[in-house]
């Protein structure tokens, strides 16, 4: 079975970018989207993933989940290095350039999502993609469907609290 | 219950929408095409190795099959018996005539 990779990139690329753009900066999200697409090509061409046995976008999000975890671990290591360099009085800044967001509301929401537990974040990030069903999300995260629903419910409640607190802060 | 989650997801989706200028689809497509090309090359390389090996074996077989020793006999053909050797017969005829 041959895959039209151009249309696959057009279809899945923006969805992957949106997934990565919440926890990471736009530059990192861009790199991770490309990395996920390349890994998808490798796995499909090597016959590891058979598109006839499951949807390609589900495979893509399964890969994206691991790419995100890898990058978070890498960032934690970098933060440790940065802490050491800062402690030693170095002027080297390892933080990416601050990205100016036009949409303040989106920025508040991103910050609020970052405060969720890891499991709730995973569910919310996959839930951002409207084309993924709850069953597919459960398969990607290897969790029961009811667990996904309860994580989503708690995430919704926590986000509502966090966002209302932010609104109150702004009003003061 | 499901509708409630769907509304929640839709709200998040709209709030965190990305502008088309942020999406580097051409760059991703180029990277994917490059990887796809290199994967195809990697997959077909063993086939060329197989064809090369078969051709080498064929050439070797032809060489061994047509090889002759210095005295003219083929190492791949059983030696002739003395009684059937045409050279020995000719030598005997010459010896008689002399």
pLDDT tens per residue, range A60-76: 999 999 999 888 888 77
Q: What is the per-residue pLDDT for B69?
A: 60
Minimum-distance CB partner of B13 among A10, A46, A128: A128
Cβ-defined contact of B23 to A17 (cutoff 8 Å): yes
Which of A14, A67, A46, A54 is closest to B36 using CA atoms?
A46
Distance CA B44, CA B40 (A): 6
Determine contact: B24 vs chain A, CB below 8 A: yes
User: Which residues in A lie closer than 8 A to residue B39 (C-beta atoms)?
Assistant: 41-42, 45-46
What is the distance in angstroms between the Cα of A26 and the nearest Cα belonging to chain B? 8
The pLDDT tens digits along chain A (172 residues) read: 578 888 999 999 999 998 888 888 888 899 999 999 999 998 888 878 766 667 888 889 999 999 998 888 887 776 665 555 454 443 333 333 334 344 677 777 888 888 888 888 888 888 887 788 888 888 888 899 999 989 988 988 888 888 787 666 655 5
Per-residue confidence at B81, pLDDT binned at 50, 70, 90?
low
Burial of residue B24, with CB atoms counted within 10 A of its CB: 0-12 exposed, 13-18 middle, 19 or more buried: middle
Burial of residue A96, with CB atoms counted within 10 A of its CB: 0-12 exposed, 13-18 middle, 19 or more buried: exposed
What is the distance in angstroms between the Cα of B51 and the nearest Cα belonging to chain A? 22
ipTM: 0.70
What is the distance in angstroms between the Cα of A78 and the nearest Cα belonging to chain B? 25
Q: What is the per-residue pLDDT for A156?
A: 87
User: Which residues in A lie closer than 8 A to residue B8 (C-beta atoms)?
Assistant: 127, 152, 156
pTM of the model: 0.65
Cβ-defined contact of A34 to B15 (cutoff 8 Å): no
Cβ-defined contact of A46 to B29 (cutoff 8 Å): no
Residues sharing a CB contact under 8 Å with residue B26, sequence separation 6 or more, in sequence order? none
Mean pLDDT of B71-96: 64
What is the distance in angstroms between the Cα of B35 and the nearest Cα belonging to chain A? 6
Instruction: Decide if pLDDT at B54 tops 50.
Output: yes
pLDDT tens per residue, range B38-47: 877 766 667 7
Q: What is the per-residue pLDDT for A118?
A: 87
Cβ-defined contact of B22 to A17 (cutoff 8 Å): yes
Helix ranges (DSSP H) in A46-144: 56-87, 104-114, 118-127, 134-141
Instruction: Decide if pLDDT at B12 tops 90.
Output: no
Distance CA A4, CA A162 (A): 43
């Amino acid at each position: 079975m041959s895959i039209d990779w151009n249309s696959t990139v057009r279809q899945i690329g923006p969805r992957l970018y949106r997934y990565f753009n919440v926890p990471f900066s736009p530059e990192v999200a861009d790199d991770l989207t490309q990395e996920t697409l390349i890994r998808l090509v490798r796995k499909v061409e090597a016959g590891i993933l058979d598109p006839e046995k499951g949807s390609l976008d589900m495979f893509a999000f399964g890969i994206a989940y691991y790419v995100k975890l890898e990058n978070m671990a890498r960032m934690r290591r970098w933060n440790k290095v940065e802490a050491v360099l800062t402690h030693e009085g170095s002027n080297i800044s390892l933080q990416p350039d601050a990205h100016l967001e036009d949409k303040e509301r989106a920025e508040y929401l991103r910050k609020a999502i970052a405060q969720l537990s890891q499991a709730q974040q995973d569910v919310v990030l996959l839930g951002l993609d409207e084309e993924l069903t709850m069953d597919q999300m459960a398969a990607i995260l290897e969790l029961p469907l009811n667990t996904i629903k309860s994580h989503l419910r708690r995430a919704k409640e926590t986000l509502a609290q966090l966002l209302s607190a932010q609104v109150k802060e702004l009003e003061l | 219950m499901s509708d409630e989650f769907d509304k929640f997801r839709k709200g998040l989706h709209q709030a965190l929408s990305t502008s088309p200028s942020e999406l580097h689809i051409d760059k991703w497509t180029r990277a994917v095409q490059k990887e796809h090309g290199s994967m195809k090359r990697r997959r077909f390389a063993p086939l060329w190795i197989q064809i090369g090996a078969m051709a080498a074996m064929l050439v070797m077989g032809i060489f061994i099959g047509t090889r002759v020793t210095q005295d003219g006999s083929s190492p791949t053909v059983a030696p002739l018996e003395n009684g059937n050797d045409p050279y020995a017969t000719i030598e005997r005829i010459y010896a008689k005539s002399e």
